[in-house]
Amino acid sequence: MSAILEVAHVSKRFAMGGVLSRRHVEAVNDASFAIEEGQPEVFTIVGESGSGKTTLARMMLGLELPTTGEIRLSGRSMADRRGRAAKIEFMRHAQPVFQNPFEAFNPLKRVDRYLDASARVLLGARGRGAIDAAMDVALHKVGLSLAEVRGRYAHELSGGQLQRVAIARALIPNPEILVADEPVSMVDASLRMSIVNLLRDLRDNLNVTVIYITHDLATAYYISDRIIIMQKGYIVEMGPAQTILESPEHPYARLLKESVLPVDDPGRERVQAPDRSLALAAAENSGSGRLVPRTGGRSVRMNAE
């Protein structure tokens, strides 16, 4: 069994400030995991803003190159992504879905233009008939049809529909991997579950692995197979999603879970501010710790001693 996507000891460092005040920020530190071929899953990356989850996603899409370490997509290193043909080849395997569908689509262009361009460039479809067929197939996968979408502008569709179109566009080259960065946070409450359910169906019916990036632990529990929890660039806990979210072990994972607002006992209790002291203390030592395998298939970052 080989890995479709392999992330091996990847770190990313950004330089900030001018020549004299230069500082370096470690956005991602020594991340390693692999997504196996033939085992479609929803792989979730959870963390607060600044935890490095989006940087990690951008590296998986080849939008950033790791400072150290290597990312291999279908056995080929992302560092080989040079030239148009090689880039397109990579893009066929991994496709993005962004947070805000209203920003992802140009308001002055018809949305089907994006589908059309993806079909031409990524799928290599030639001729009106073949392109239309490719667009229609992709739209049907997300519960829409070309007749509904053709000629429409972004403002003519609801947030949920537009996000479906964005997912359909990503599905045109039949990628093995879909990287979805907060795909539901800008979608209305009554439409949100239909998008989340759609991601679940992509895994179950189309064998697409979805890399789901979020800070919403409740939807993460709902759709994820595996999860990694990131704190300040470090993976602090990694493993089966339901095991981890039911009983997190790392102090930061516990803090995240405690911060989820309970809905099973509605009515006004005093809302207590979460206690971060243990998580902050753990963050101090993340650099000297390492991921230690624990029971239930998970690994937790622990101190060296």
Partner 1 sequence: MADVLTVAGLKAYYQTNYFGVQREVRAVDDISITVRADEVYGIAGESSSGKTTLIKTFAGAIHPPLRIVGGSMRYRFDGQEIDPYAVSAEELNRLRWRHVSYIMQGSMSVLNPVRRIHRSFADFAFSHMDLPKARFWQAVEEHLERLSLSPDVLRGYPHELSGGMRQRVTIALATVCRPGFIIADEPTTALDVVVQKDVLALLDDIRRTLKSSVVFVTHDMSVHANMADRIGIMYAGRIVEEGPTRALFTAPKHPYTAHLVASLPRIGDATRKPALGGRPPALSDPPGGCRFHPRCPLAIDKCRTEVPPLETVGADHRSACWRSAEVEPLTPPSGASGEEVA
Size of the site for partner 1 (CB under 8 A): 46
- Cβ burial, residue 67 (10 Å; 0-12/13-18/19+): middle
- DSSP, collapsed to helix, strand or coil, labels residue 153 as strand
Residue 80 found at the interface with partner 1 (CB under 8 A): no
Residue 21 found at the interface with partner 1 (CB under 8 A): no
Among 16, 261, 288, 304, binds partner 1 (CB under 8 A): 261
Which of 142, 300, 156 shows the shortest CA–CA distance to 235? 300
Beta carbon of residue 72, minimum distance to partner 1 (angstroms, whole number): 31
Beta carbon of residue 188, minimum distance to partner 1 (angstroms, whole number): 4
Other beta carbons within 10 angstroms of residue 47's beta carbon come to 25
Question: Between residues 242 and 285, which has the closer beta carbon with respect to partner 1?
Answer: 242
**230 membership: H or E segment, kind and range:** strand 226-231
Question: Between residues 3 and 260, which has the closer beta carbon with respect to partner 1?
Answer: 260
Cβ pair 124, 84 in contact under 8 A: no
Binding letters toward partner 1, positions 170-199, x by CB under 8 A: ------------------xxxxxxx-xx--
Residues in CB range of 228: below 8 A, 6 or more apart:
31, 33, 43, 44, 45, 46, 235, 237, 238
Beta carbon of residue 223, minimum distance to partner 1 (angstroms, whole number): 8
Residue 256 found at the interface with partner 1 (CB under 8 A): yes
Binding letters toward partner 1, positions 207-226, x by CB under 8 A: --------xxxxx-xxx---
- Residues of this chain that bind partner 1 (CB under 8 A): 48-49, 158-161, 188-194, 196-197, 200, 215-219, 221-223, 242, 245-246, 255-257, 259-264, 266-274, 276
